[in-house]
Chain A
Amino acid sequence: GAVVSQHPSWVICKSGTSVKIECRSLDFQATTMFWYRQFPKQSLMLMATSNEGSKATYEQGVEKDKFLINHASLTLSTLTVTSAHPEDSSFYICSASGQGRSNYGYTFGSGTRLTVV
């Protein structure tokens, strides 16, 4: 089945530094990738949608200069949290949809737990 690999699975960083999270589709071409964040005991909130080779579309209230998304190829999207602060600590999950999948839908990565200290 379709597999999406997300790295790192967890990261701790200091306030003011930047963190990059990678999301790779391993066995299909991900024409569209999605980035979500999830706070404890809450649902997933879509942050942005990216199509290969295009600028990401951000949801209302998400700072595009803070959460940089790059979708340079059909198998890789990255999310960079710039100048991270403790309030950015969250669980970040990517998901992908695209060609070559056997069914409709979205494949989710394993998530990245970000802790900013």
Chain B
Amino acid sequence: ELKVEQNPLFLSMQEGKNYTIYCNYSTTSDRLYWYRQDPGKSLESLFVLLSNGAVKQEGRLMASLDTKARLSTLHITAAVHDLSATYFCAVDLMEYGNKLVFGAGTILRVKS
């Protein structure tokens, strides 16, 4: 059974600080996604990582994928309040006809 573990589950940080969210998974996969969810809303796609060593950046967020270590990271640089949300990683189980298995989510609160 595929397990996707995110940590931390809750992150409170000051504006201007850096931090990393980790996503470990237990089976082989070359595709990993990061999503953002605001309260009461659906998912917003942040990054699609398609291969080992993939690195993508958008604004203050940068995601990377190490398929050998089965690890993805979402790095936050100089956090601002607007980044407060819940962040999910999701692993694509391609061998099962493509379906996503989600991590538990990381609740991020950026304090002014």
Answer whether A and B are interacting partners.
Answer: yes
User: Known interface pairs A93-B42, A111-B41. Does A105 touch B48 (Cβ–Cβ under 8 Å)?
Assistant: yes
Q: Which residues from chain B contact A44 at a C-beta distance below 8 Å?
A: 43, 88, 102
User: Known interface pairs A104-B48, A104-B50, A106-B33. Does A46 touch B41 (Cβ–Cβ under 8 Å)?
Assistant: no
The answer to whether A108 touches B43, judged by C-beta atoms less than 8 angstroms apart, is: yes
Tally the A-B contacts, defined by beta carbons under 8 Å. Answer: 46
The answer to whether A110 touches B41, judged by C-beta atoms less than 8 angstroms apart, is: yes
Interface residues of A in 4-33 (CB under 8 A from B): 6, 32
Interface residues of A in 99-115 (CB under 8 A from B): 103-111, 113
- Nearest 5 pairs between A and B by C-beta? A111-B42, A108-B43, A43-B102, A110-B42, A44-B102
Min CB distance B107 to A, Å, is 8
| Chain A: interface residue total (CB-CB under 8 A) | 23
Whether A67 sits at the interface, judged by CB under 8 Å, is no
Whether B62 sits at the interface, judged by CB under 8 Å, is no
Q: Which residues from chain B contact A77 at a C-beta distance below 8 Å?
A: none
Q: How far is the CA of A93 from the CA of B105 in the complex (A)?
A: 16
Q: How far is the CA of A93 from the CA of B35 in the complex (A)?
A: 14
Q: How far is the CA of A104 from the CA of B49 in the complex (A)?
A: 10
Question: Contact check: which of A34, A43, A104, A111 meets B88 at CB < 8 Å?
Answer: A43
Q: How far is the CA of A56 from the CA of B72 in the complex (A)?
A: 31
The answer to whether B48 touches A103, judged by C-beta atoms less than 8 angstroms apart, is: yes
Min CB distance B49 to A, Å, is 10
Residue in chain A with minimal CB distance to B50: A104
Interface residues of B in 55-112 (CB under 8 A from A): 88, 97-105, 107
